[in-house]
Amino acid sequence: MTRRFVGFLAATGTALTIMGTLTAVPAAASVNAVDYTAIVALNNCSGSLVRPAGVANTDKALVLTNGHCVKFMAAGEVIVNQPSQRTFTLLNPSAQNLGTLTATKLAYATMTDTDLALYQLKESYADIESRYRTKALTLNTAHPKQGADIRVVSGYWKRIYSCKIDAFVHQVKEANWTWKDSIRYTPECKTIGGTSGSPIIDTADGSVVGVNNTGNENGGRCTQNNPCEVDAAGNVTVRRGINYGQQTFQVNACVTAGNNIDPNKAGCTLPKPRR
């Protein structure tokens, strides 16, 4: 998982080590024209401008990335509505920089059961469309399908990876973290450090079905940078060189008025903060 991002300045000002070998070839253009529209780059990760179902144009926009792009969170830790001024570089369809978006808060983040973070911006969807002529990517409301053709789009490296959803894994375990119903890619998606937080886009409709977060680098068993798979019976499988993401459809059920995230909302299955 740590190889999916590069360098992060923690509150202490200490830089984490750059992880992973940065060798990948940009994927060929998709026949369904998946490009860099609504993709953002963070200082250490990738991300995307996303829109849950039913929100208004005047609502403050959301940026999706990984929980571990915020920090290495403890198992069970959930952050909700934490003030933030983090910035994001918005890209145009051909991966050129359009401008800078700024958060007002970290709306939600966790590394428990899933690995995702959502920042709420000071700009609304209408503001962004008016200024940059860019619309947000839609968060799909349904569980993705096995065999779906996908693109993993990295704003950090300005690269697009093309593959399919190989399977859904009961649990992916890495060091102290466990993620449920994870997306396993077919081998063609050889994601690298800095691709953390990239949206997983279904080419059938251009919607976001997940967020890229980890991969087994050298065949280690359930250790950092070497996640393993655990089935319902507890059997462990190691797949060297295979990469994973986390589903995002669950976010839609947690959205309240004003495009806020409330994990305590009825029907929301995202992990809740400890009381």
pLDDT of residue 32: 63
pLDDT of residue 6: 53
Contacts of 16 (CB under 8 A, 6+ apart): 2, 7, 8, 10
Residues of the chain with pLDDT > 90, as a percent, come to 87
Whole-model pTM: value is: 0.89
Whether the predicted pLDDT of 9 surpasses 60: no
pLDDT of residue 270: 98
CB-count burial class (<10 Å; 0-12, 13-18, 19+) for 245: buried
Whether the predicted pLDDT of 29 surpasses 90: no
- CA distances to 29, 36, 110, 258 from 113, rounded to whole Å, are 33, 28, 8, 26
Other Cβ atoms within 10 Å of 141 Cβ, number: 15
CA distance 62 to 206: 17
Mean pLDDT for 62-69 is 98
